[in-house]
């Protein structure tokens, strides 16, 4: 029987052995076997034989996400950034080149634009608004394309099928960071991506109390990721896996509420003269909207504000005066958050020219009453001059 994602998230993983709705937390370093032959049989069949490979709890989470992602396999890591690391280093080797979207998450930019040089691997950043820029930068040394959609802080939406078309033509591997949309709104492997990263810290958990990452892969790259995963030591704890499973039960309800609230906030902010642009797919005439609508069934609660002000201090006053928006890193929880984005968060961009009087503020719209959030924003906007 075919069921919807909503129903699947509620009904998957019922445990009739322990008679619990959610699978129990199994903590283990040693996995016991009755004989030497049983150990070898488990290893041959790629079953868990040591705690670093996981336990029944983490295996349950993998199976839940495997179906949600429509993946061949899902690997689990202790953080979302760990999943990015696992994805990239499973494939690239000295002498390779990789193409990375200019608007990626700043730690990803630090990894690919700086650290990876020490391994004689070259990163070339491409313009996320220009598919031709990506295509012309492909060389004989190019190994993979790393996409983040939408882009961090500036929220560029790319034509994903065109990227896949280029990758197939040139026989390249592809990775996408799908934390913003999650597989509830888009399943990248169905489009043709080889790997899809999600920071489980964000919407999967939904309660800002757990760290985790997931890497969904197709059959083509499975053996590469499996090999590196074994020697890299990546592991998600069973306790964190349990919390992520619990969070996933309400992923649909929370994402839909985030979306509903965010639309109301965006409607208000788009009418404010002090806001130069709301960086979110809300204008039907915009490229951002068209690319979002082409691939996504919904939008989450993270957005950016491009604010024009000659005085940075005024923008920071606006941020500091918000009462219902917490200030802190991460997002995807039930609560609203705000951050002023300076070069630390934005990274040294090559294809986005910020003017001296332009500032970016990132908002995550939570599950509060949107009227209260709008009133909070309205009172604080007076500081922007």
For the chain, give the secondary structure using H, E and C: CCCCHHHHHHHCCCECCCCECCCCCCCCCECCCCCHHHHHHHHHCCCCCEHHHCCHHHHHHHHHHHHHHCCCEEEEECCHHHHHHHHHHCCCCCCCEEEEECCCCHHHHHHHHCHHHHHCCEEEEECCCCHHHHHHCCCCCEEEEEEECCCCCCCCCCCHHHHHHHHHHHCCEEEEECCCCHHHHCCHHHHCCCEEEEECCCCCCCCCCCCCEEEEECHHHHHHHHHHHHHHCCCCCHHHHHHHHHHHCCHHHHHHHHHHHHHHHHHHHCCCCCEEEEECCCCCCCHHHHHHHHHCCCCCCEEEEEEECCCHHHHHHHHHHCCCCEECCCCCCCCCEEEEECHHHHCCCCCCCCCCCEEEEEEECCCCCHHHHHHHHHHHHHHCC
pLDDT at 12: 85
pLDDT at 236: 96
State the pLDDT confidence band at 16, using cuts at 50, 70 and 90: low
Mean pLDDT of 357-381: 97
Q: What is the pTM of this model?
A: 0.94
Domains in the chain, ordered, with CATH? Answer: 5-248 (3.40.640.10), 251-383 (3.90.1150.10)
Mean pLDDT of 60-68: 96
pLDDT at 157: 97
pLDDT at 1: 67
Question: Which percentage of the chain shows pLDDT scores above 70?
Answer: 98
pLDDT per position as a tens digit, 222-275? 999 999 999 999 999 999 999 999 999 999 999 999 999 999 999 999 999 999
Mean pLDDT of 178-190: 98
pLDDT per position as a tens digit, 95-111? 999 999 999 999 999 99
């Amino acid at each position: 029987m075919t069921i919807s994602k909503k129903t699947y998230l509620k009904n998957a993983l019922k445990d009739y052995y322990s008679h619990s709705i959610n699978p129990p937390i199994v903590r283990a370093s040693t996995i016991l076997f009755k004989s030497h032959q049983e150990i070898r049989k488990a290893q041959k069949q790629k079953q868990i034989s040591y705690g670093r490979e996981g336990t029944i709890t983490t295996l349950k989470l993998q199976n839940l996400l495997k179906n949600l992602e429509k993946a061949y396999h899902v690997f689990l890591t202790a953080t979302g950034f760990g999943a990015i690391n696992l994805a990239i280093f499973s494939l690239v080797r000295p002498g390779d080149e990789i193409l990375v979207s200019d608007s990626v998450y700043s730690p990803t930019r630090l990894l690919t634009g700086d650290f990876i040089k020490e391994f004689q691997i070259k990163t070339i950043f491409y313009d996320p608004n220009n598919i031709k820029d990506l295509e012309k930068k492909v060389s004989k040394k190019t190994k993979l394309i790393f996409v983040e959609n939408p882009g961090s802080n500036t929220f560029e939406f790319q034509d994903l099928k065109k990227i896949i078309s280029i990758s197939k033509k040139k026989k390249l591997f592809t990775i996408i960071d799908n934390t913003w949309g999650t597989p509830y709104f888009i399943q990248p492997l169905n489009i043709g991506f080889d790997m899809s990263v999600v920071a489980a810290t964000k919407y999967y958990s939904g309660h800002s109390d757990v760290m985790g990452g997931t890497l969904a892969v197709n059959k083509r790259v499975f053996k590469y990721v499996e090999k590196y995963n074994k020697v890299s030591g990546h592991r998600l704890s069973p306790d964190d896996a349990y919390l992520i499973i619990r969070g996933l039960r309400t992923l649909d309800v929370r994402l839909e509420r985030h979306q509903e609230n965010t639309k109301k906030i965006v409607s208000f902010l788009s009418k404010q003269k002090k806001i130069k642009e709301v960086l979110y797919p809300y204008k039907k005439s915009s490229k951002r909207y068209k690319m979002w609508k082409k691939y996504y069934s919904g939008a989450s609660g993270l957005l950016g504000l491009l604010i024009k002000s000659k005085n940075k201090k005024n923008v920071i006053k606006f941020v500091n005066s918000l009462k219902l928006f917490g200030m802190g890193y991460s997002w995807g929880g039930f609560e609203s958050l705000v951050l002023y984005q300076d070069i630390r968060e934005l990274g040294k961009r090559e294809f986005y020219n910020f003017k001296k009087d332009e500032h970016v503020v990132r908002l995550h719209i939570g599950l509060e009453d949107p009227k209260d959030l709008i009133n909070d924003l309205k009172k604080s906007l007076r500081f922007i001059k």
